[in-house]
Chain A
Amino acid sequence: MVKFLSQSDFFTQKEELVLLPFRFERMADGRFIISNLLGDMDFFTEDELNKIVNKDIFPGDGLYERAFSLQFIANAPQEFQLQTLAARLRSRLQFLQTPTPLHIFVVTLRCEHSCPYCQVSRRSCDKQLYDMPLEIAFKGVDVAFQTPSPAIKIEFQGGEPLLNFSLIKEIVLYSERKSSEIKKYVSFVMTTNLALMDDNILSFCKHHNVHISTSLDGPESLHNKNRPRPGGNSYQLAKQNIQKIQKEWGNDYVSALMTTTEASLSDVKGIIDEYVNLNLGGIFLRPLSPYGFAIKTKYYKKYDDHEWFDFYKKGLSYILDINKKGKHFPEFYTALILKRLLTDIPTGYVDLRSPSGIGLGALIYNYDGKVYAADEGRMLAEMGDHEFLLGDIKKDDYFDIILSEKLISIISKTLTQCAPQCKDCVFEPVCGADPVYHYATQKDVLGIKSLSKFCSRQKNVISYIVNILQNDPEDAKILRSWIR
């Protein structure tokens, strides 16, 4: 007769039990979130946390199983958990192997809109001084193609890029030639308000696969209030051109970004409906950033982070309802966080990285040839602050820029893995350094995190998402469908 051993014959002995690195944080309701080295996290009571810390847990008590599964504890003689965590950490940091995939060209600083929250400090149309010259553009492309990344993306920014579309054409054609010469894949995206879109431009974009990213703040009255232009028809032109691109080219080639202003706060549903009705693939409920005119016009200070968080929560719940009716419609910031929470796929989003995505994730070539570490860096420069100026295209190559003392110093100062307050934060594996934000608000790239709105927003949003994942199976199912 065969003999089988019982469960207890396989129990880990107490002296074999070791703690692996984990972090924890008390939530408002008294529960604790505990997270392992890589951001696998769940809620526990204080009593449960104490039991784990004291190794006062036993196979079969339920707590042992949860803690083991989340890799808070291990069986000391066994190495598989450490090896698994190490392999996953390598995946998460894989973006370091392909530095600088994104290259942003500010082809002009001129703009025909006069948005009071403008983050880039546009100039009026008549000053030819603010267009990028051709030789600077070509040198920028040469630098972009020097990056080790096997695929690069070139983004056209402004001002309003369509005011200098002839230069964009030259850059695209030149890049395509370089791409086939040195076998580096290149793709294009243009950030435009679409007001000056015409058939010739659209035809060129379609032929050369230049994707379109535009601005849409919500319903007509809100959009036009936020985004004034001569004629007061920003909304009408944006909508009509979005639909035209979708019809003549396809829904995937145009996306839109919204900026939350004080006027947006009361109408999150109206804003979301606008995106749904226009068949845009999702929405990014983006708070205003403290750069450019947004500071000068005091727009940035008009609402605080709690008001934005309420706006976000209302929006997310409305978006979940839309998804429940069968429409796939993600909130993109939530989707970014979810990807960090549920997978080890290295993120392309520069603000959610450590080491920071500045320079390593993106370089910005300003119209005058100056190279910045981040889009927001050149916005600060327009306000007279050159903290993020890395070099000049007229004399520097990629390696001068990326190995500059300035960049290395900023990046090494801001690593969340060892930065004060970040290194102990339960959300560290899911978060990022964002030195530009902290410099803009605190004049210090590291910043005091307890004073940081970036930090409080991250804590709010991430714990909110984790709570849904753990406690609301129906909503969790929808959230999971957003990560792919």
Chain B
Amino acid sequence: MKPLTLSGNIVDFKVNKKYQDNDVFRVFDMQSKHGGNKNIYLITTEESENLWGDDENKVYLYIDGLYINKKNKNFIVLPKSFSYLSSGDAIAFNFSKKNLRVLFRENSRHNYFLVTENCNHYCLMCSQPPKNLDDSWVLNRLKKLIPLLPCKTDFIGFTGGEPFTNVDSFLEIISLCNAHVQANHIHVLSNGRYFKDRLIAEKLSKVANKNLTIGIPLYSSVDWIHDYVVQSKGALNETMMGILHLKEYGLNIEIRVVLNKITTERLEETALWISKNLPFVNHVALMGLENTGFALANDDVVWIDPVEYKKALSNSVNILQSVGLSVSIYNLPFCVLDQSVWNISRQSIADWKNAYLPQCETCQAKPYCAGFFSSGRPKLSSGITPVKDSKVLELLK
């Protein structure tokens, strides 16, 4: 399965008003004509046939609620690959460059917004390699986007780069979320280092609601190992100080351990250390490696066949759970996991992340399995085998 096309070029458009680049628009159905600024209407197949003729390769949007006829019309024509768009979605258009980016999809339970590509880490397996350039326009675009989100949105995620690079602007975004959206979960992926400054943790606590969780990667209990993975000396110290400060202000914390060759070598030790020193965190996520970005360049240092750490992983889960921690495993198929941890293996909530292989067709666990990344260049474990044990399947249901 291929990932959805989230950005691309506009095939054709005509708009009367002057729009700025990166203005954000919300998609509505033809039927529910809301009117108002920054709304575009999606023309359904049937209507587009009437208005435009039968052209299967294009998606039609029209803008600003003007009458539609072939002569006097504002319209945007997109490639067919955007036909998944539906009511509630949000799109940024650059009419000057004739391109667009889909920022939010109502049908996805996994809308992550990139805040910046700047980062003070340079992780060996980063799936989204950071760039050192001024991208403050991304934050400005987010400020336009947030008020357009459906007011009942279950999940909003923020990622980077390091989202707290520009602390004040990002805290504004969090405030905007709270003002416009009743979200059940707001998740921010951060390395937590900026919170080594207690004042920043305090500032965050003033704008954050109970629904906010900061997801923080932690790779080892040993200074140099964590610092090496994130390629920054002193990182573990600052991240840990950050976690302590976030806890001091009652913020929700998730620890994320990406399972690669380096982190799995001492995984049980790391788990024991987390269980003793950070038993207060709200969630521990153990995550299979996404073979993309820097992970490809550092293949020899980070790649490990998950079957090699199967036992260490299940022991680590046991250690973490025994002190009452909530633990989940992501991005790893059942066939490479010990059966004792199948119940905490989560299917990615990203609808494009659960891809499967031809041999998965005969596997009875497939409907519940996390499968494989559809992104990057998936590297396959030697342990992949269809599951055919009906007793075990009972447990999954």
**Of the candidates A11, A59, A65, A78, which one forms a contact with B269 in the assembled complex, judged by CB atoms under 8 Å apart?**
A65
A86 to chain B, nearest CB (A): 9
In the complex, the chain A residue whose C-beta lies closest to that of B241 is: A80
Chain B residues in 8 Å Cβ range of A484: 322-324
Tell me if A84 is interfacial: C-beta within 8 Å of chain B.
yes
Within 8 Å by CB of A2, from B276, B297, B318, B323, lies B297
B153 on the A face (CB < 8 A): no
Which one of B99-107, B169-177, B222-230, B346-354 is at the A interface?
A: B222-230
Q: Known contacts A69-B222, A80-B241: does B233 contact A10 (CB below 8 Å)?
A: yes
Least CB distance from B27 to A in Å reads: 38
Residue of A nearest to B279 (CB): A343
Check if A75 is an interface residue, CB within 8 A of chain B.
yes
Query: Looking at the complex, which one of B221, B227, B231, B266 makes contact with A4 (CB distance below 8 Å)?
Result: B231
What's the Cα separation between A11 and B269 when bound, in Å? 19
Whether the Cβ atoms of B319 and A480 lie closer than 8 Å is: yes
The reply to whether the CB of B244 lies closer than 8 angstroms to some CB of chain A is: yes
> Judging by beta carbons under 8 Å apart, are B236 and A481 in contact?
no
**By the criterion of a CB under 8 Å from any partner CB, how many residues of chain B are at the interface?**
37
From B124, which residue of chain A is reached at the shortest CB distance?
A4
Contact A69 B228 (CB under 8 A): no
B200 at the interface (CB under 8 A from A): no
Please tell me if the beta carbons of B266 and A65 are within 8 angstroms of each other in the complex: yes
| Residue in A5, A9, A66, A84 whose beta carbon sits within 8 Å of that of B277 in the complex | A84
With contacts A65-B269, A75-B237 taken as known, whether A10 is within 8 angstroms of B322 at the C-beta atoms is no
| Chain B interface, >50% SS class | helix
CB of A480 within 8 A of CB of B318, answer yes
Report yes or no: A80 in contact with B269, Cβ–Cβ below 8 A: no
Contact between A342 and B275 (Cβ–Cβ < 8 Å)? yes
Known A10-B233, A481-B322, A484-B324; judge A84-B222 contact (CB<8 A): no
On chain B, the residues within 8 Å of A68 by CB distance are 221-223
Are B323 and A342 interface neighbours, CB within 8 A? Answer: yes
User: Is the pair A65, B222 in contact by a Cβ cutoff of 8 Å?
Assistant: yes
B244 pairs with A342, CB closer than 8 A: no
| Chain B: minimal CB distance from A345 (Å) | 9
Chain B residues with Cβ below 8 Å from A477 are 315, 318
* A88 neighbours in B (Cβ, 8 Å): 276-277
The verdict on B155 contacting chain A, using a C-beta distance below 8 Å, is no
CB contacts (< 8 Å) of A83 on chain B: these are: 240-241, 244
Complex-state Cα separation, A115 to B266, whole angstroms? 54
Nearest CB of chain A from residue B242's CB, rounded to whole Å: 9
Contact B241 A59 (CB under 8 A): no
Per-residue CB proximity of A62-98 to B under 8 Å, as 1/0? 0011101100000100111001100110000000000
Question: Do A343 and B318 touch (CB < 8 A)?
Answer: no
Q: Are B315 and A80 in contact (CB under 8 A)?
A: no
A428 contacts partner chain B, Cβ-Cβ < 8 Å: no
A69 / chain B contacts, CB cutoff of 8 Å:
221-222, 266, 269-270, 272-273
Bound: A59/B227 CA distance, A? 12
Asked if A480 contacts B223 (CB within 8 A), the reply is: no
- Chain A residue nearest to B269 (CB atoms) is A69
The interface residues of chain A lying within 8 Å CB-to-CB of B294 are 2
Contact of B244 among A5, A11, A80, A483 (CB under 8 A): A80
Q: Is A7 an interface residue (CB 8 A)?
A: yes
Which residue from chain A places its CB closest to the CB of B294 in the assembled complex? A2
User: Which residues of chain A are near B221, meaning CB under 8 Å?
Assistant: 68-69
A40 to B124, CA, bound (A): 31
Known: A9-B233, A344-B279. 9 other contacts (CB 8 A): A12-B224, A38-B276, A69-B266, A79-B237, A88-B276, A342-B275, A343-B276, A480-B318, A484-B322
Interchain residue pairs A-B with the least CB separation, the first 5: A480-B322, A80-B240, A78-B237, A69-B221, A10-B224
Name 27 interchain pairs, CB-CB below 8 A, sorted by A.
A2-B297, A4-B297, A5-B228, A7-B224, A9-B228, A9-B233, A10-B223, A10-B225, A10-B228, A12-B223, A59-B222, A65-B222, A69-B221, A69-B222, A69-B266, A69-B272, A69-B273, A78-B223, A80-B237, A80-B241, A83-B244, A84-B240, A84-B277, A342-B322, A342-B323, A344-B279, A477-B318
